[in-house]
């Protein structure tokens, strides 16, 4: 059932177009890390809103105004001063696999963020409770894994609201973050999610495409190849090959000195870069479907 939910539904032409958009949008985040034993420098975050006020602040004058607090409402990665990374697991929880993953995390003192699908979450509230009790974070990944940008407003709202309700009932805490399935988003929906739900969109910068390559070694190799400080790593706790890879991924990343934090903790560590006054690269205001499945 979960596999069906997760299969991309785009036509070939649309997929190519979307891949083009995403390859531009995530170009920086997806640049492979150099093969070095040292930790690479933080990646520039691909998403930085530019406002008139922030451009003003970038001009040195006699009495420069304080830099305004520009709230980012979407993150694909963060700029951090340290080897911090956020593991994220989508599409669960899964009755058999998610507990195995939680055990592997707990025994290593690792925390992650789970973007749960409401139709799964409602079946396993105890797993959500355990995540919360373990110190993991839970985000919203819609109720039935549709492309939210293709739904009318009422249906998109219901996908989000029903899932948040399940999470809130199980844990006592409403989710702060939404990861749109397939990364599919529209400017209108994005604004609505911010205005109505006050949620921040979370994308990713490391994608082992574990939904496509059901191969633990591939998942391990790709995460180790792509990871860098500030990374948000996408994986799925509904695939046995992914969950089997994770103890090895965790141990390898820990051995390299990486520190696992939740999405909230990573964002709290984010250091906004200087705002570029010129034409900004594509950011999340544009349609932003995923290069992969999320």
Select from 82-90, 195-203, 263-271, 273-281 the region that touches Ni ion (CB under 5 A).
82-90
Q: Give catalytic status of residue 141 as yes or no.
A: no
> Interaction with Ni ion in 155-184: which residues (CB under 5 A)?
181
Site string for Ni ion, 275-294 (x = CB under 5 A): -------------------x
Dihedral sign, CA of 234, 218, 283, 3? Answer: negative
Of 90 and 284, nearer to Ni ion (C-beta) is 90
Q: Find the shortest distance in angstroms from Cβ 290 to Ni ion.
A: 9
225 within 8 A of 33, measured Cβ to Cβ: yes
Residue identified by tokens 């899932």 is 163
Q: Using CA atoms, how far apart are residues 114 and 11, in angstroms rounded to an integer?
A: 29
Shortest reach from residue 6's CB to Ni ion, in Å:
5
Q: Hey, which residues between 1 and 40 contact Ni ion (CB under 5 A)?
A: none
- In whole angstroms, the minimum distance from the beta carbon of 181 to Ni ion comes to 5
Contact (Cβ atoms closer than 8 angstroms) between residue 284 and residue 169:
no
* 237 near Ni ion, judged by CB under 5 A: no
Closest Cα to residue 247, out of 55, 82, 68, 107? 107
The reply to whether 90 belongs to the active site is: yes
Q: Which of 111, 141, 236, 293 is catalytic?
A: 236
Instruction: Tell which one of 29, 85, 90, 250 touches Ni ion (CB under 5 A).
Output: 90
- In whole angstroms, how close is the CB of 25 to Ni ion at the nearest point? 18
Judged by CB under 5 A, the stretch of 71-79, 83-91, 256-264, 274-282 that binds Ni ion is: 83-91
Is 91 one of the binding residues for Ni ion (CB under 5 A)? yes
**How many residues form the binding site for Ni ion (CB under 5 A)?**
4
Decide: is 113 part of the binding site for Ni ion (CB under 5 A): no
Contact call for residue 207 and Ni ion (CB under 5 A): no
Give me the active site residues, please.
Answer: 90, 236
Residues of this chain that bind Ni ion (CB under 5 A): 90-91, 181, 294
């Amino acid at each position: 059932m979960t596999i069906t939910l997760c299969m991309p539904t785009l036509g070939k032409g649309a997929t190519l177009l979307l891949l083009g958009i995403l390859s531009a949008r995530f170009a920086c985040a997806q640049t492979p890390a150099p093969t070095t034993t040292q930790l690479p420098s933080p990646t520039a975050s691909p998403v930085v809103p530019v406002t008139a006020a922030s451009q003003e602040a970038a001009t040195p004058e006699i009495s420069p105004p304080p830099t305004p607090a520009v709230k980012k409402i979407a993150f694909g990665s963060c700029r951090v001063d340290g080897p911090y990374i956020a593991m994220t697991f989508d599409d669960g929880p899964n009755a058999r696999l998610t507990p195995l993953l939680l055990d592997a995390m707990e025994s290593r003192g690792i925390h992650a963020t789970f973007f749960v699908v409401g139709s799964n979450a409602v079946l396993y509230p105890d797993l959500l409770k355990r995540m919360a009790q373990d110190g993991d974070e839970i985000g919203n990944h819609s109720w039935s894994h549709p492309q939210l940008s293709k739904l009318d407003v009422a249906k998109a709202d219901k996908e989000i609201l029903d899932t948040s309700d399940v999470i809130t009932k199980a844990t006592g805490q409403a989710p702060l973050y939404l990861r749109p399935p397939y990364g599919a988003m529209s400017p209108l929906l994005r604004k609505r999610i911010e205005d109505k739900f006050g949620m921040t969109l979370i994308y990713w910068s490391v994608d082992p495409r574990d939904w496509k390559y059901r191969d633990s070694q591939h998942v391990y190799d790709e995460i180790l190849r792509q990871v860098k400080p500030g990374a948000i790593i996408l994986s799925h706790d509904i695939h046995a090959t992914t969950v089997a890879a994770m103890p090895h991924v965790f141990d390898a990343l820990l051995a390299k000195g990486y520190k696992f934090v939740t999405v909230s903790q990573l964002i709290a560590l984010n250091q906004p870069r200087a705002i570029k006054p010129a034409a900004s690269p594509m950011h999340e205001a544009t349609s932003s479907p995923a290069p992969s499945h999320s």
